[in-house]
Amino acid sequence: MVGPDYKRPSVEVNQNWLDTKDSRVQSQYQDYRTWWKAFNDSTLDRLIETAYRENLNLRVAGVRVLAARAQLGIVTGQLYPQTQQATGSYTKERISAGTPFVGSANAPGSFGGLSLAQSQIGLTASWEIDFWGKFRRAIESADAGLMASIANYDSTLVSLTANVANFYITIRTVERRLNIARRNVETQRESLEIAKARFEGGTTSQRDVDQAKTILTGTEATIPPLKIQLRQATDALCVLLGMPPNLLTNQLQGKPAEIPAPPARVVVGIPVDLMRRRPDIRAAEYNAMAQCAQIGVAKAELYPALSLLGTFGFLASDVGKSHLAGMFNWRDRSGSMGPSLTWNIFNYGQITNNVRFQDAQFQELLVTYQNTVLSAQQDVEDNLAGFLRTQEQLVALKESVAAAQSSLDLAVIQYREGITDFTTVLTAEQALLSAEDSLASAMGNISRYLVGVYRSLGGGWQIREGQDFVPVETRKDMEQRTNWGKLLTPASQSPPTPEEERQKSLIRTPDW
């Protein structure tokens, strides 16, 4: 076969993660098939299960896998005779008495007309021999394209599970922040009542009342933006679940606003595991493999194409008879067979530049693959650093909340006893609200960073193993419209990596 054989480009992969020495990071192998169960949240489990069944973007990715399977079948058919036709015709013609015959100036009146019937039936075939590997390279390209479509499906599934978890965590975090804001509103209202009482008793000024109102209304003003965030996160989660926006009352079950708690430690394996696990890396390499084969397809056009042509059939005609006769008379057989050669000798400029174009496309995809590997490592490192450092921030924020609460309690007592002014109470209230809100946000960020770690490690797509690429109802609709044969079958248990795929022949017999 002409054209280059695919070779994996060199990529830089670290031996270990930057935070491997941290006791909270473990490097042993782990299956991330259902990583979300690490949060021990049954509601999250149900949401992801629903999204896997109902998400429309995932269905689109699944149908693209079926389309790629059909495309592979089309290309594989090029290995066989490209033209295989059964032909047949029957014509009957009546010539009037006044019509002159060929070679005669006048029509004999004694004939009174003439009937001519002609029948033909036969087979025609042409087969371009794949001498330069053009069709085999096309099969390589289509096969790699099929594997890329499966990898894209897996990548969509990885993103889907992570997005569901992120929006769910966002919902719970915003609910927690709303509760904090509402609780502080109640506390600040009590402070306002104290200020009013002391003002009416003549022991304080109107300024204390105004300051209390300012703090109260400022806290109340933080509630509507949080409600907006809550609604937007809920609406986005509904879309992921394949449903119109609603309040998700049944799905969330009206539980208290509890942020899913992540484990203190995370198992991340080693960087080289990303080459096998992350579907976007597999997709990038399969795309490069498919394009590499296209170079061979284009290069084969530089050489002559050898074909075999053949026809066989029966041709019969009867003059003066009105019925079909001699259709399968062996003496009326006819046929032809022979080779054919075509060579685009005057189009070398166009063909050569097409080869160059395909090669440039291949080089672009190689660089894209290398960049995908680097970006994947960055993705893990960024989320891992966020997960670890935010835990450290959480420790400090918990101490800050405890100190702010103690400070507020003391300030209220001292204000009631007239030891301190009202400004001290207001300052303590603001500090407590800020510290509690920051603590809730940090708790949500830790969980989201852990979701990012699992997503960047390529976890979650394994749940589709042994399952259909499209749901049952979609498959039934497609089967009613079209005979899909065996193409609507479940996914493979463990898709091969591009390197494993390269080690074996890429030419597959399609599932007709």
CA–CA distance from 312 to each of 121, 187, 201, 327 (Å)? 9, 97, 117, 13
Tell how strand 25-26 and strand 333-342 pair up.
Answer: unpaired
pLDDT value of residue 325: 52
Determine what percent of the chain is predicted with pLDDT higher than 70: 88
pLDDT value of residue 359: 95
Asked if the model's pLDDT at residue 104 lies above 60, the reply is: no
Q: Which residue has the higher pLDDT, 275 or 33?
A: 33
For the chain, how far is it from start to end, CA to CA, in angstroms? 26
pLDDT value of residue 67: 93
Asked if the model's pLDDT at residue 493 lies above 90, the reply is: no
Asked if the model's pLDDT at residue 342 lies above 80, the reply is: yes
CA–CA distance from 407 to each of 401, 403, 423, 477 (Å)? 10, 6, 13, 66
So where are the chain's domains? 25-79+130-304+343-502
Are residues 325 and 346 in contact, defined by beta-carbon separation less than 8 angstroms?
no
Q: Which residue has the higher pLDDT, 385 or 313?
A: 385
pLDDT value of residue 256: 67
pLDDT value of residue 101: 55
Asked if the model's pLDDT at residue 254 lies above 80, the reply is: no
Return the exposure string of 283-322: e unless at least 16 CB atoms fall within 10 Å of the residue's CB, then b.
bbbbbbbbbbbbbbbbbbbbeebbbebeeebbbbebeeee
3-state secondary structure of 230: helix
Most trustworthy range by pLDDT among 16-30, 189-203, 245-259, 476-490: 16-30
In whole angstroms, what is the distance from residue 464 CA to residue 357 CA?
Answer: 37
How confident is the model over 305-320, as a mean pLDDT? Answer: 79
pLDDT value of residue 368: 95
Helix intervals (H) in 325-421: 348-416
pTM, whole model, 2 decimals? 0.85
In whole angstroms, what is the distance from residue 50 CA to residue 96 CA?
Answer: 78
Asked if the model's pLDDT at residue 507 lies above 60, the reply is: no
Asked if the model's pLDDT at residue 505 lies above 50, the reply is: no
How confident is the model over 396-403, as a mean pLDDT? Answer: 95
Left if phi > 0, otherwise alpha if psi is -120 to 50, otherwise beta: which for 166? alpha
pLDDT value of residue 345: 82
Strand partners, 92: 117
pLDDT value of residue 380: 94
**Number of residues that make up the chain:** 512
Asked: is 25-79+130-304+343-502 a CATH 1.20.1600.10 domain? The reply is yes
pLDDT value of residue 500: 60
How much is the mean pLDDT over the chain? Answer: 85
Least confident residue range of 72-86, 149-163, 399-413: 72-86
Dihedral sign, Cα of residue 185, residue 191, residue 195, residue 196: positive
- Tell me the pLDDT band of 320, cut-offs 50, 70 and 90: very low
Left if phi > 0, otherwise alpha if psi is -120 to 50, otherwise beta: which for 438? alpha
Determine what percent of the chain is predicted with pLDDT higher than 90: 47
How confident is the model over 497-507, as a mean pLDDT? Answer: 52
3-state secondary structure of 484: coil
3-state secondary structure of 88: strand
3-state secondary structure of 322: coil
Asked if the model's pLDDT at residue 448 lies above 90, the reply is: yes
Type and span of the H or E element at 313: strand 305-319
